[in-house]
Structure 1
Amino acid sequence: MMRRKLLSSILAIRYVSLHINDYIRKYSMNRRQFLGGTAVSLAAAASFARAHGHHDHKGHSHAAPAAASKTYEAARKAAAHCVEAGQICLAHCIRLLSQGDTSMKDCATGVNQMLALCGALQNLATQNSPLTPSLAKVCVEACKQCSAACKQHAGHHAECKQCYESCLACIKECEKIAA
Protein backbone atom coordinates (compact mmCIF):
# COMPACT_ATOMS: atom_id res chain seq x y z
CA MET A 1 0.00 0.00 0.00
CA MET A 2 2.75 2.39 0.97
CA ARG A 3 4.75 1.37 -2.03
CA ARG A 4 1.85 2.06 -4.36
CA LYS A 5 1.43 5.63 -2.97
CA LEU A 6 5.14 6.29 -3.31
CA LEU A 7 5.16 5.00 -6.88
CA SER A 8 2.12 7.10 -7.84
CA SER A 9 3.75 10.19 -6.28
CA ILE A 10 6.94 9.61 -8.25
CA LEU A 11 4.97 9.15 -11.46
CA ALA A 12 2.99 12.33 -10.79
CA ILE A 13 6.17 14.32 -10.19
CA ARG A 14 7.73 12.94 -13.36
CA TYR A 15 4.61 13.75 -15.35
CA VAL A 16 4.58 17.34 -14.08
CA SER A 17 8.29 17.83 -14.71
CA LEU A 18 7.96 16.58 -18.30
CA HIS A 19 5.12 19.01 -18.95
CA ILE A 20 7.06 21.85 -17.36
CA ASN A 21 10.06 21.11 -19.59
CA ASP A 22 7.80 21.05 -22.67
CA TYR A 23 6.26 24.36 -21.61
CA ILE A 24 9.68 25.94 -21.09
CA ARG A 25 10.92 24.75 -24.50
CA LYS A 26 7.76 25.97 -26.20
CA TYR A 27 7.44 29.40 -24.59
CA SER A 28 10.95 30.44 -23.62
CA MET A 29 13.15 32.64 -25.74
CA ASN A 30 16.71 31.81 -26.63
CA ARG A 31 19.48 34.32 -27.21
CA ARG A 32 19.06 34.38 -31.00
CA GLN A 33 15.35 35.04 -30.73
CA PHE A 34 15.97 37.85 -28.26
CA LEU A 35 18.63 39.52 -30.42
CA GLY A 36 16.46 39.17 -33.52
CA GLY A 37 13.47 40.70 -31.78
CA THR A 38 15.60 43.53 -30.45
CA ALA A 39 17.02 44.26 -33.92
CA VAL A 40 13.54 44.34 -35.45
CA SER A 41 12.29 46.66 -32.69
CA LEU A 42 15.20 49.05 -33.13
CA ALA A 43 14.78 49.09 -36.90
CA ALA A 44 11.08 49.85 -36.53
CA ALA A 45 11.80 52.64 -34.04
CA ALA A 46 14.44 54.18 -36.32
CA SER A 47 12.07 53.99 -39.29
CA PHE A 48 9.30 55.63 -37.28
CA ALA A 49 11.64 58.38 -36.08
CA ARG A 50 12.86 59.04 -39.62
CA ALA A 51 9.31 59.14 -40.97
CA HIS A 52 8.12 61.55 -38.28
CA GLY A 53 11.30 63.61 -37.94
CA HIS A 54 9.88 66.35 -40.15
CA HIS A 55 6.96 66.90 -37.80
CA ASP A 56 6.05 70.56 -37.48
CA HIS A 57 7.21 72.02 -34.16
CA LYS A 58 6.17 75.61 -34.80
CA GLY A 59 4.76 77.19 -31.69
CA HIS A 60 6.52 74.76 -29.38
CA SER A 61 8.79 76.39 -26.86
CA HIS A 62 11.40 73.88 -25.73
CA ALA A 63 13.36 76.38 -23.71
CA ALA A 64 12.38 78.97 -21.16
CA PRO A 65 12.42 82.51 -22.47
CA ALA A 66 15.80 84.11 -21.90
CA ALA A 67 14.41 87.08 -19.97
CA ALA A 68 12.43 84.91 -17.55
CA SER A 69 15.34 82.65 -16.67
CA LYS A 70 17.60 85.62 -15.86
CA THR A 71 15.32 87.12 -13.19
CA TYR A 72 16.96 85.31 -10.26
CA GLU A 73 20.20 84.32 -12.01
CA ALA A 74 22.54 86.12 -9.60
CA ALA A 75 20.82 84.58 -6.56
CA ARG A 76 20.87 81.14 -8.22
CA LYS A 77 24.59 81.39 -8.89
CA ALA A 78 25.31 82.61 -5.35
CA ALA A 79 23.22 79.79 -3.88
CA ALA A 80 24.98 77.25 -6.11
CA HIS A 81 28.38 78.50 -4.97
CA CYS A 82 27.18 78.40 -1.36
CA VAL A 83 26.02 74.79 -1.77
CA GLU A 84 29.33 73.76 -3.31
CA ALA A 85 31.42 75.42 -0.60
CA GLY A 86 29.02 74.19 2.09
CA GLN A 87 29.32 70.56 1.02
CA ILE A 88 33.10 70.77 1.24
CA CYS A 89 32.89 72.50 4.62
CA LEU A 90 30.42 69.96 5.98
CA ALA A 91 32.61 67.05 4.90
CA HIS A 92 35.54 68.75 6.65
CA CYS A 93 33.46 69.29 9.81
CA ILE A 94 32.34 65.67 9.86
CA ARG A 95 35.91 64.47 9.44
CA LEU A 96 37.06 66.62 12.39
CA LEU A 97 34.05 65.66 14.50
CA SER A 98 34.84 61.98 13.90
CA GLN A 99 38.34 62.66 15.23
CA GLY A 100 36.84 64.10 18.42
CA ASP A 101 37.00 67.84 17.64
CA THR A 102 33.65 68.97 19.07
CA SER A 103 34.37 72.62 18.30
CA MET A 104 33.03 71.95 14.78
CA LYS A 105 29.55 71.02 16.04
CA ASP A 106 27.96 74.46 15.53
CA CYS A 107 29.67 74.89 12.19
CA ALA A 108 28.37 71.53 10.94
CA THR A 109 24.84 72.33 12.14
CA GLY A 110 24.81 75.75 10.48
CA VAL A 111 26.23 74.43 7.23
CA ASN A 112 23.76 71.55 7.12
CA GLN A 113 20.78 73.90 7.51
CA MET A 114 22.19 76.34 4.96
CA LEU A 115 22.67 73.51 2.44
CA ALA A 116 19.01 72.52 2.61
CA LEU A 117 17.76 76.05 2.07
CA CYS A 118 20.28 77.20 -0.53
CA GLY A 119 19.71 74.01 -2.52
CA ALA A 120 15.98 74.75 -2.54
CA LEU A 121 16.64 78.38 -3.50
CA GLN A 122 18.85 77.26 -6.36
CA ASN A 123 16.07 74.99 -7.61
CA LEU A 124 13.31 77.61 -7.34
CA ALA A 125 15.44 80.36 -8.88
CA THR A 126 16.17 78.11 -11.86
CA GLN A 127 12.43 77.65 -12.35
CA ASN A 128 11.82 81.40 -11.97
CA SER A 129 9.32 80.48 -9.25
CA PRO A 130 7.27 83.21 -7.57
CA LEU A 131 8.24 81.57 -4.26
CA THR A 132 11.91 82.49 -4.78
CA PRO A 133 11.78 85.90 -2.99
CA SER A 134 10.11 84.36 0.08
CA LEU A 135 12.69 81.61 0.27
CA ALA A 136 15.49 84.12 -0.29
CA LYS A 137 14.43 85.85 2.93
CA VAL A 138 14.82 82.58 4.86
CA CYS A 139 18.13 81.87 3.10
CA VAL A 140 19.48 85.19 4.33
CA GLU A 141 18.94 84.05 7.92
CA ALA A 142 20.38 80.58 7.26
CA CYS A 143 23.47 82.08 5.60
CA LYS A 144 23.91 84.54 8.48
CA GLN A 145 23.88 81.69 11.00
CA CYS A 146 26.20 79.59 8.86
CA SER A 147 28.64 82.44 8.28
CA ALA A 148 28.72 83.23 12.00
CA ALA A 149 29.60 79.62 12.78
CA CYS A 150 32.18 79.39 9.97
CA LYS A 151 33.77 82.74 10.85
CA GLN A 152 35.12 81.24 14.08
CA HIS A 153 37.12 78.68 12.08
CA ALA A 154 37.90 80.73 8.94
CA GLY A 155 41.34 81.68 10.22
CA HIS A 156 42.63 78.12 10.43
CA HIS A 157 40.35 76.05 8.13
CA ALA A 158 40.29 76.95 4.42
CA GLU A 159 37.02 75.02 3.97
CA CYS A 160 35.29 77.15 6.60
CA LYS A 161 36.71 80.32 5.07
CA GLN A 162 35.34 79.43 1.63
CA CYS A 163 31.94 78.64 3.11
CA TYR A 164 31.97 81.88 5.12
CA GLU A 165 32.77 83.95 2.03
CA SER A 166 30.18 82.22 -0.13
CA CYS A 167 27.54 82.77 2.56
CA LEU A 168 28.33 86.50 2.63
CA ALA A 169 27.95 86.67 -1.16
CA CYS A 170 24.69 84.72 -1.01
CA ILE A 171 23.34 87.04 1.70
CA LYS A 172 24.10 90.02 -0.53
CA GLU A 173 22.27 88.52 -3.54
CA CYS A 174 19.34 87.17 -1.53
CA GLU A 175 18.73 90.53 0.14
CA LYS A 176 18.28 92.05 -3.32
CA ILE A 177 15.31 89.80 -4.09
CA ALA A 178 13.98 88.95 -0.61
CA ALA A 179 10.29 89.66 -0.08
Structure 2
Amino acid sequence: MKRQIRTRAAVVTAGALIAAATVAVGVGVASPEHSDVPAAAKSANSAKSGKPTKAEIAGLFDQWNAALQTGDPEKVADRYAPDAVLLPTASPKIRTNRAEIVDYFEHFLQKKPQGEKIRSVVNVLDRNSAIDAGLYEFHITDPATGEKKTVEARYTYEYEKRGGKWLIVNHHSSVLPAEG
Protein backbone atom coordinates (compact mmCIF):
# COMPACT_ATOMS: atom_id res chain seq x y z
CA MET A 1 0.00 0.00 0.00
CA LYS A 2 2.78 2.45 0.93
CA ARG A 3 4.53 1.59 -2.33
CA GLN A 4 1.37 2.48 -4.32
CA ILE A 5 1.05 5.79 -2.47
CA ARG A 6 4.69 6.64 -3.16
CA THR A 7 4.26 5.70 -6.84
CA ARG A 8 1.13 7.86 -7.10
CA ALA A 9 2.92 10.74 -5.37
CA ALA A 10 5.82 10.43 -7.80
CA VAL A 11 3.41 10.40 -10.78
CA VAL A 12 1.53 13.42 -9.43
CA THR A 13 4.81 15.26 -8.78
CA ALA A 14 6.10 14.43 -12.26
CA GLY A 15 2.79 15.55 -13.76
CA ALA A 16 2.98 18.83 -11.87
CA LEU A 17 6.54 19.40 -13.05
CA ILE A 18 5.55 18.66 -16.65
CA ALA A 19 2.56 20.99 -16.36
CA ALA A 20 4.74 23.71 -14.87
CA ALA A 21 7.28 23.27 -17.65
CA THR A 22 4.54 23.37 -20.27
CA VAL A 23 3.16 26.58 -18.81
CA ALA A 24 6.63 28.11 -18.53
CA VAL A 25 7.42 27.30 -22.14
CA GLY A 26 3.95 27.97 -23.53
CA VAL A 27 3.28 31.43 -22.12
CA GLY A 28 4.33 32.96 -25.38
CA VAL A 29 8.01 33.69 -25.11
CA ALA A 30 9.95 31.68 -27.63
CA SER A 31 13.34 32.70 -26.30
CA PRO A 32 15.09 30.00 -24.31
CA GLU A 33 16.22 32.54 -21.72
CA HIS A 34 12.56 33.12 -20.74
CA SER A 35 11.83 29.50 -19.95
CA ASP A 36 12.19 27.67 -16.65
CA VAL A 37 12.93 24.43 -18.49
CA PRO A 38 16.66 23.84 -18.93
CA ALA A 39 17.84 23.93 -22.55
CA ALA A 40 19.41 20.47 -22.21
CA ALA A 41 16.05 19.02 -21.14
CA LYS A 42 14.30 20.68 -24.09
CA SER A 43 16.88 19.34 -26.54
CA ALA A 44 16.67 15.84 -25.06
CA ASN A 45 12.86 15.89 -25.25
CA SER A 46 13.00 17.20 -28.81
CA ALA A 47 15.49 14.54 -29.88
CA LYS A 48 13.31 11.77 -28.43
CA SER A 49 10.13 12.96 -30.09
CA GLY A 50 11.72 14.12 -33.34
CA LYS A 51 9.87 17.39 -32.91
CA PRO A 52 11.72 20.67 -33.35
CA THR A 53 12.21 22.89 -30.32
CA LYS A 54 10.31 26.13 -29.94
CA ALA A 55 13.61 27.96 -30.28
CA GLU A 56 14.27 26.25 -33.62
CA ILE A 57 10.87 27.33 -34.92
CA ALA A 58 11.33 30.87 -33.57
CA GLY A 59 14.67 30.98 -35.40
CA LEU A 60 12.92 30.50 -38.75
CA PHE A 61 11.85 34.14 -38.50
CA ASP A 62 15.50 35.16 -38.30
CA GLN A 63 16.16 33.28 -41.53
CA TRP A 64 13.19 34.99 -43.20
CA ASN A 65 14.37 38.39 -41.91
CA ALA A 66 17.88 37.67 -43.24
CA ALA A 67 16.33 36.95 -46.65
CA LEU A 68 14.66 40.38 -46.45
CA GLN A 69 18.06 41.97 -45.81
CA THR A 70 19.38 40.64 -49.13
CA GLY A 71 16.92 42.91 -50.96
CA ASP A 72 16.17 40.00 -53.32
CA PRO A 73 12.45 39.14 -53.55
CA GLU A 74 13.30 35.72 -55.01
CA LYS A 75 15.36 34.83 -51.91
CA VAL A 76 12.44 35.88 -49.69
CA ALA A 77 10.01 33.85 -51.81
CA ASP A 78 12.31 30.83 -51.39
CA ARG A 79 11.24 30.77 -47.72
CA TYR A 80 7.63 30.04 -48.83
CA ALA A 81 6.10 26.78 -50.05
CA PRO A 82 4.88 26.79 -53.68
CA ASP A 83 1.27 26.68 -52.43
CA ALA A 84 1.76 29.21 -49.61
CA VAL A 85 -0.77 31.90 -48.75
CA LEU A 86 0.53 35.37 -47.86
CA LEU A 87 -1.76 37.99 -46.31
CA PRO A 88 0.77 40.84 -46.27
CA THR A 89 0.99 43.88 -44.03
CA ALA A 90 1.14 46.49 -46.75
CA SER A 91 -1.26 45.14 -49.39
CA PRO A 92 -4.96 44.24 -49.47
CA LYS A 93 -4.31 41.47 -52.02
CA ILE A 94 -4.07 37.83 -50.94
CA ARG A 95 -0.96 36.24 -52.48
CA THR A 96 -1.42 32.54 -53.32
CA ASN A 97 1.50 31.64 -55.57
CA ARG A 98 5.19 32.34 -55.95
CA ALA A 99 4.77 35.02 -58.64
CA GLU A 100 2.35 36.99 -56.42
CA ILE A 101 4.62 36.61 -53.39
CA VAL A 102 7.64 37.79 -55.38
CA ASP A 103 5.57 40.75 -56.66
CA TYR A 104 4.67 41.79 -53.13
CA PHE A 105 8.27 41.63 -51.94
CA GLU A 106 9.55 43.53 -55.00
CA HIS A 107 7.58 46.50 -53.68
CA PHE A 108 7.98 45.92 -49.94
CA LEU A 109 11.76 45.52 -50.15
CA GLN A 110 12.07 49.01 -51.63
CA LYS A 111 11.35 50.22 -48.07
CA LYS A 112 14.41 48.35 -46.75
CA PRO A 113 12.38 46.58 -44.04
CA GLN A 114 13.98 45.10 -40.99
CA GLY A 115 11.77 42.99 -38.76
CA GLU A 116 12.10 42.71 -35.01
CA LYS A 117 9.99 40.36 -32.91
CA ILE A 118 8.38 41.88 -29.84
CA ARG A 119 6.48 38.83 -28.58
CA SER A 120 6.33 35.32 -29.96
CA VAL A 121 4.06 32.39 -29.19
CA VAL A 122 5.36 29.18 -30.75
CA ASN A 123 3.30 26.00 -30.96
CA VAL A 124 5.10 22.93 -32.26
CA LEU A 125 2.31 20.75 -33.60
CA ASP A 126 4.34 17.73 -34.66
CA ARG A 127 7.62 16.79 -36.36
CA ASN A 128 6.68 18.60 -39.54
CA SER A 129 4.43 21.51 -38.58
CA ALA A 130 4.49 24.48 -36.26
CA ILE A 131 2.98 27.92 -35.80
CA ASP A 132 4.72 31.10 -34.67
CA ALA A 133 2.38 33.99 -33.88
CA GLY A 134 2.89 37.27 -32.10
CA LEU A 135 3.87 40.89 -32.48
CA TYR A 136 6.69 42.41 -34.46
CA GLU A 137 7.91 45.76 -35.66
CA PHE A 138 9.18 46.71 -39.06
CA HIS A 139 11.71 49.48 -39.34
CA ILE A 140 11.18 50.88 -42.85
CA THR A 141 12.41 53.76 -44.97
CA ASP A 142 10.17 55.68 -47.37
CA PRO A 143 11.96 55.29 -50.74
CA ALA A 144 10.73 58.72 -51.94
CA THR A 145 11.59 60.83 -48.90
CA GLY A 146 14.12 58.76 -46.96
CA GLU A 147 11.93 59.16 -43.86
CA LYS A 148 12.33 56.28 -41.41
CA LYS A 149 9.45 54.91 -39.39
CA THR A 150 8.42 51.89 -37.39
CA VAL A 151 5.28 49.91 -38.13
CA GLU A 152 3.91 47.67 -35.37
CA ALA A 153 2.15 44.56 -36.63
CA ARG A 154 0.83 41.22 -35.54
CA TYR A 155 1.82 38.08 -37.39
CA THR A 156 1.23 34.38 -37.84
CA TYR A 157 3.65 32.07 -39.62
CA GLU A 158 2.54 28.52 -40.22
CA TYR A 159 5.46 26.28 -41.12
CA GLU A 160 5.66 22.81 -42.63
CA LYS A 161 8.76 20.73 -43.09
CA ARG A 162 8.79 19.61 -46.70
CA GLY A 163 11.62 17.68 -48.27
CA GLY A 164 13.66 18.26 -45.12
CA LYS A 165 13.26 22.06 -45.31
CA TRP A 166 11.05 24.29 -43.17
CA LEU A 167 8.82 26.43 -45.40
CA ILE A 168 6.17 29.03 -44.72
CA VAL A 169 2.78 27.71 -45.84
CA ASN A 170 0.67 30.51 -44.40
CA HIS A 171 1.82 33.99 -43.39
CA HIS A 172 -0.54 36.65 -42.10
CA SER A 173 0.68 40.09 -41.08
CA SER A 174 -1.45 43.10 -40.26
CA VAL A 175 -0.89 46.50 -38.75
CA LEU A 176 -1.45 46.41 -35.00
CA PRO A 177 -4.75 48.18 -34.27
CA ALA A 178 -4.94 50.95 -31.70
CA GLU A 179 -6.26 49.82 -28.35
CA GLY A 180 -9.99 50.16 -28.25
What TM bracket, shorter-length normalisation? under 0.3
Larger fraction in helix:
1
Q: TM-score, normalised by structure 1?
A: 0.26
TM-score under structure 2 normalisation?
A: 0.26
Q: Which has the larger radius of gyration?
A: 1
Which structure has more relative contact order (CA 8 Å, sep 6+)? It is 1
Return the structure number with greater strand share.
Answer: 2
